[in-house]
Amino acid sequence: MMRQMDTEDMRIQIEPAKEDDVPEILRIMESANMHKVPSPEMPELDWKCFFVAIMDGEIVGAAGYKILSATDAKTTLMAVLPEYRRFGIGRSLQERRMSALKQKGIERLLTNADIPETIAWYKKYFGYKEIGKLKKLHEFGRTDIDEWTTLQIDLTAWRENHGE
Ligand SMILES: CC(C)(COP(=O)(O)OP(=O)(O)OC[C@H]1O[C@@H](n2cnc3c(N)ncnc32)[C@H](O)[C@@H]1OP(=O)(O)O)[C@@H](O)C(=O)NCCC(=O)NCCS
């Protein structure tokens, strides 16, 4: 069986976003119907709290966060362009934002997700636990799913490469 390509084969770099990256980040989010910003579901896109995945000079994925208090944060938007999914780019982005938050002293991280496969991914690879459901305020993300599943991870217990 052919070995699946991963981020090493693909020369992916994960970097903090720059202000100029905002239109590209929104284009990536559009691929997952998560580009309606500002909106009640996503009031702002703070580029200072985003990481981008770059391949051959192009942004192919992005992930953000918002600090809520000295110990708490939530993830904001994350998507990888459909043709670049399943190569580990999402995982690299997620690990990067979790370690950045851990370094800032964040202990608890919340994530709202709607797609069942994505919810399973957060649990399997990072150790998130489901803590509740939340009705969407309006259409955002998957159009056939009208609620968010709220997930939480204890970053003090999380080790990088969890689940390897
Ligand atoms: C979630 C997402 C960022 C993952 O990016 P990625 O680069 O494909 O992630 P990875 O390659 O690291 O991981 C792929 C794994 O995630 C699983 N997965 C996660 N979300 C999935 C989805 N929506 N559809 C199918 N598989 C999905 C795959 O089954 C695969 O698992 P496996 O390795 O056990 O086969 C990407 O699927 C995406 O952009 N989804 C749409 C937007 C979204 O749901 N964003 C999160 C909002 S909270």
Distance 91 CA to ligand 1 centre (A): 8
Q: What percent of the chain has pLDDT over 90?
A: 90
| Architecture in CATH of 12-154 | 3-Layer(aba) Sandwich (3.40)
What per-residue confidence (pLDDT) applies to 159? 85
Q: Judge contact between 48 and 37, C-beta under 8 A.
A: no
Omega before residue 40 within 30° of 0, cis: no
Averaged pLDDT score across all residues of the chain: 94
Distance 121 CA to ligand 1 centre (A): 7
| Ligand 1 pocket at CB < 6 A | 32, 78-80, 85-91, 111, 113, 115, 117-118, 121
161: confidence class by pLDDT, cuts 50, 70, 90: low
What per-residue confidence (pLDDT) applies to 164? 47
> Packing angle between helix 89-103 and helix 116-126, nearest 10 degrees?
60
* pLDDT tens sequence across 130-159: 999 999 999 999 999 999 999 999 999 998
Residues in Cβ contact with 73 at an 8 Å cutoff, skipping those fewer than 6 apart:
65, 66, 67, 101, 104, 106, 108, 109, 110
Distance 117 CA to ligand 1 centre (A): 7
Which residues lie across from 127 on neighbouring strands? none
Q: What percent of the chain has pLDDT over 70?
A: 91
Residue 56 has pLDDT above 90, yes or no: yes
* pLDDT tens sequence across 86-126: 999 999 999 999 999 999 999 999 999 999 999 999 999 99
- For the chain, the structural domain boundaries read 12-154
Q: Which residue matches tokens 């119907």?
A: 33
85 vs 19, 27, 31, 78, 151, CA distance in Å? 25, 15, 11, 12, 22
